[in-house]
Amino acid sequence: MDEATLERFAKELAAVVACNESCRGAPKFCSPREIAKAAAAFAQLGRVAIISGFYIPAAKAPETDGPGGAAVLARAFLKEGRSCEIWTDALCLDVMRAGARAAGCPEDIAREAPSSLDGAAPEGIIFIERPGRAADGRYYNFRKQDISRWTAPLDSFAYEAASRGIVTAGIGDGGNEAGMGNFRKGLCALLPDYVSCLSVVRTDFSIAADISNMGAYALALALSLVWGRMRGIERGDETKILEAVVSAGAVDGISGRRETSVDGFKAAVLEKKVSLLNALRRRYAGLGISGS
């Protein structure tokens, strides 16, 4: 796959997943180049860990954004014969497992994160909608509430990975997630009232999207193009995964209610986005992605 084609594809993917429909600002910093570069780098790796799970204390439940992206990306790596685990914390584990199972991954692919990378070091780590610490070392949600008590410091793997030469990517949508530190300067200017909550955690590649799950789906399709095989999200996956994670207790991160929506976007709307992504993928079929 030549670089120019991959970047052109990434540009079209970004137009679907980062059109700033959420009006939260972060997707403005979505760069097709970053999607392309992340796909080119992660496509080469044999062992990947995905870190996800965002707990909403007010609802006493994890949110629906994250598990779908983690499950679809993990499935992509597994189908391609790579090894992949989903790491999360105890509070988000059941929901993460339910999402993985609904996507057809083995359930034990999701586990509580190890305490360090000693003996468990993957070659690459992808954060999806995982809280990233702010400048004061604490974690905040989009309502500016301090959620540190409920947030295991899994973003520290970004620092540990950097010191070990492990490649990292971060996918987020609000600016408070691991990886969004790459856009900090721009986000501070754009969201002056939210500066104290913005994450300082940087990753090698950073993808901002309207919804983090959608950013992960875009990456799975970009990987598919590099691999030359369809490893992305299929029609119906989004609804199936959402129903499973909500049954396991997940809530919409914006409404705080147990409903099959993500950040206020209903399942049917998300399925439409997925079909736009797959229409793009079919257009690129002749250039390398085989499969249905």
Binding site for Zn ion (CB under 5 A): 65, 173-174, 212, 263
Among the listed residues 41, 39, 37, 49, the one whose alpha carbon sits nearest the alpha carbon of residue 125:
49
Instruction: Indicate the residue among 82 and 130 with the shorter CB distance to Zn ion.
Output: 130
Minimum distance from residue 213 beta carbon to Zn ion (Å): 7
Nearest to 70 by CA among 198, 244, 227: 244
Task: Tell the smallest beta-carbon distance from residue 163 to Zn ion (Å).
Answer: 26
Which CB sits closer to Zn ion, 64 or 224? 64
Rounded to a whole number of angstroms, the minimum distance from the CB of residue 102 to Zn ion is: 19
Between 173 and 237, name the residue whose CB sits nearer to Zn ion. 173
β-strand 110-112 against 167-172: which pairing, if any? unpaired
For Zn ion, give the closer residue by CB, 99 or 174.
174
Q: Which residue is nearest to Zn ion (CB)?
A: 65
CB contact set of 15 (below 8 Å; sequence gap of 6+): none
- Partner residues linked to 88 by β-bridges: 112
Q: CB within 8 A of 66, min separation 6: which ones? A: 52, 53, 54, 92, 96, 128, 129, 130, 212, 213
Beta carbon of residue 45, minimum distance to Zn ion (angstroms, whole number): 25
